[in-house]
Amino acid sequence: MRATRHLTVLYDADCPVCVHIRHWLLGQRWLVPLRLVPANSYAARQQFPRLDHAATLREITVIGDTGQVWTGTDAFIVCLWALAEHRPKANWLATPAGRPFAKAAMHTAAAVRHAVRTESTESSTEFSSESGVPACDDRCATPR
């Protein structure tokens, strides 16, 4: 089995909490590169046509470069595992002793997300002209 070269994190671009976490992830030092893609966007549907994209809007989804898919609490732990400062915490959260804390964190985040999420009337991904290609594609500079 080969090592994971990158992870794709699908996040809800209509959720202020999710967007904040996206910016936070972009500011961290990565042990495994992250690609952050809006859930249910053109880019997500093109890259992962077999996923249930409606479900990716309800629950964080992380996809490994060899096809692994993690959702919910497991996806949260995998995101932390990819970060230099948080890998030890992720390893602990993956244990029977730590898992209840990871589940509680996800439950809290879901409650806050439900309270602040906005419904978009159009696709949450901006496209450049008529090319159908996302305008940013997560290569944009983010404020630190």
Order of strands across the sheet with 61-64? Answer: 34-38, 7-11, 61-64, 69-71
pLDDT at 83: 98
- Answer yes or no: is pLDDT of 109 > 60: yes
Q: Where are the domains of the chain?
A: 7-119
Residues 6 or more apart whose Cβ sits within 8 Å of residue 18: 11, 12, 60, 113
List, for residues 48-104, the tens digit of each pLDDT value: 999 999 999 988 999 999 999 999 999 999 999 999 999 999 999 999 999 999 999
Task: Select the more confidently predicted residue: 91 or 135.
Answer: 91
The proportion of the chain whose per-residue pLDDT surpasses 90, expressed as a percent, equals 64
- Answer yes or no: is pLDDT of 138 > 70: no
Beta-sheet pairing, 127-128 with 69-71: unpaired
* Contact by Cβ (8 Å): 25, 9: yes
pLDDT at 114: 78
Report residue 2 as tokens.
């080969």
CA distance 42 to 133: 8
- Residue 85, class by beta-carbon neighbours within 10 Å (0-12 exposed, 13-18 middle, 19+ buried)? exposed
- Answer yes or no: is pLDDT of 141 > 50: no
CB atoms within 10 A of CB 77: 24
